[in-house]
């Protein structure tokens, strides 16, 4: 399968290699692509999904060969960082075939980073293989270190398996960045301890404000904890020094003097990060979202399947990028009851 994927995606002149880099109408170069390989997940996190989700029929998903060709078309246009997401990407059958195929872009130097966001449940199984594919770092979602609370937040998750996965990735030489969604009345009192543990293990930690995407069976206003409030609480105990460190994503970082570690803040509501956005997202069905917080999207599956040559696909990508908006309109308050967008985060890709 690895050989087949290489043959499908290396298309020469028709691949878009002669085309220029992707730039939107605000002068922002698109160099970072997040691709969901599945909308399915083995967790049901309370801020991400409802407990009884209806997932897409498997026949609606792009094949692994199509995902490789699509990613490669973006790499040919100057995308330097590629993140595979879900749902939970590691529950996609034969997903390592895709990682192995895409790793050729690391070998040629056209791709700077191939990585993934995961809940960690399958990481112990795949860590060594991911490292062999050139994956240098992964993002793992951990919102609490309390096993019972972890089960409550994820509904189905096992903290012990996630910790095994993190340890396996560390042993394989993969750098870990932990992501934690700040949730009022859930983990607000644990964030300092989570940070100290993460930094003690050599991991970075990024905190994320809950985002108003999809119905999840809970009031988002009750979940929402502004990171401005979290930061103020941390500054009462720790010395936070603003850092120029960037990973290509939306986080803004500080160095924590007392722990020696790095802490990131992802603040789509209290301080959005749209002005420097270099990212687009593609769903597992081939739908391109130019902005996480907007409904406008472009169908890439049809042009992908319309021709074995990538010219039609590249034209569709160009037409979509010029529609990339300046920013999103996320709001969470008592008067705004419906989500900003109706789709779930697992559909778009985390």
The answer on whether 58 is annotated among ligand-binding residues is no
Per-residue pLDDT tens over the stretch 17-73: 468 999 999 899 999 999 999 999 999 888 887 777 788 888 889 999 999 999 999
The answer on whether 71 is annotated among ligand-binding residues is no
Split into its structural domains, the chain has a count of 1
Element (H, E) at 313: helix 311-321
Does residue 7 have a pLDDT over 50? no
CATH number at residue 205: 3.20.20.70
The answer on whether 211 is annotated among ligand-binding residues is yes
Helix pair angle (147-154, 159-171), 10° resolution: 100
Comparing CA positions, the residue from 251, 248, 279, 278 lying closest to residue 263 is: 251
Does residue 102 have a pLDDT over 60? yes
**Residue 203, domain extent:** 2-348
Task: Name the pTM for this structure.
Answer: 0.85
Which sign, positive or negative, has the C-alpha torsion 227, 229, 231, 233? negative
The answer on whether 104 is annotated among ligand-binding residues is no
The answer on whether 87 is annotated among ligand-binding residues is yes
Does residue 241 have a pLDDT over 60? yes
Q: What are the backbone dihedrals phi and psi of residue 204, each rounded to the nearest 5 degrees, phi first?
A: -75, 160
Does residue 232 have a pLDDT over 80? yes
The answer on whether 96 is annotated among ligand-binding residues is no
Q: In this structure, what DSSP letter does residue 213 have?
A: B
**Mean pLDDT, rounded, of the chain:** 86
Does residue 196 have a pLDDT over 60? yes
The answer on whether 141 is annotated among ligand-binding residues is yes
């Amino acid at each position: 399968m690895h050989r087949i994927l290489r043959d499908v995606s290396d298309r020469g002149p028709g691949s878009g290699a002669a085309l220029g880099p992707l730039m939107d109408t605000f002068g922002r170069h698109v160099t970072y692509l997040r691709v969901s390989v599945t909308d399915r997940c083995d967790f049901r996190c309370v801020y991400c999904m409802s407990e009884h989700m209806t997932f897409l029929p498997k026949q609606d998903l792009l094949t692994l060969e199509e995902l490789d060709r699509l990613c490669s078309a973006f790499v040919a246009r100057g995308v330097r960082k590629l993140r595979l997401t879900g749902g939970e990407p590691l529950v996609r059958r034969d997903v390592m075939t895709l990682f192995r195929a895409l790793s050729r872009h690391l070998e040629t130097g056209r791709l700077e980073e191939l990585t993934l966001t995961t809940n960690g449940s399958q990481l112990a199984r795949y860590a060594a293989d991911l490292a062999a594919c050139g994956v240098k770092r992964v993002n793992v979602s951990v919102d609490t270190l309390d096993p019972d609370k972890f089960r409550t937040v994820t509904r189905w998750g096992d903290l012990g398996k996630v910790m095994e996965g993190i340890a396996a990735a560390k042993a394989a030489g993969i750098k870990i960045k932990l992501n934690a969604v700040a949730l009022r009345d859930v983990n607000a009192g644990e964030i300092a301890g989570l940070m100290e543990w993460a930094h003690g293990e050599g991991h970075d930690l990024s905190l994320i404000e809950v985002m108003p995407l999809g119905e999840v069976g809970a009031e988002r206003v009750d979940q929402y904890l502004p990171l401005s409030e979290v930061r103020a609480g941390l500054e009462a105990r720790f010395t936070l020094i603003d850092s120029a460190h960037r990973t290509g994503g939306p986080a803004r970082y500080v160095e924590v003097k007392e722990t020696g570690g790095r802490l990131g803040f992802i603040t789509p509501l209290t301080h959005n990060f749209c002005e420097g956005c270099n990212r687009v997202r593609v769903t597992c069905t081939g739908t391109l979202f130019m902005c996480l917080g907007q409904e406008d999207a472009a169908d890439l599956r049809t042009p992908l399947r319309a021709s074995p040559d990538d010219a039609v696909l590249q034209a569709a990508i160009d037409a979509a990028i010029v529609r990339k908006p300046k920013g999103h309109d996320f709001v969470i308050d008592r008067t705004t009851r419906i989500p900003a967008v109706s789709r779930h985060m697992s559909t778009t890709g985390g």
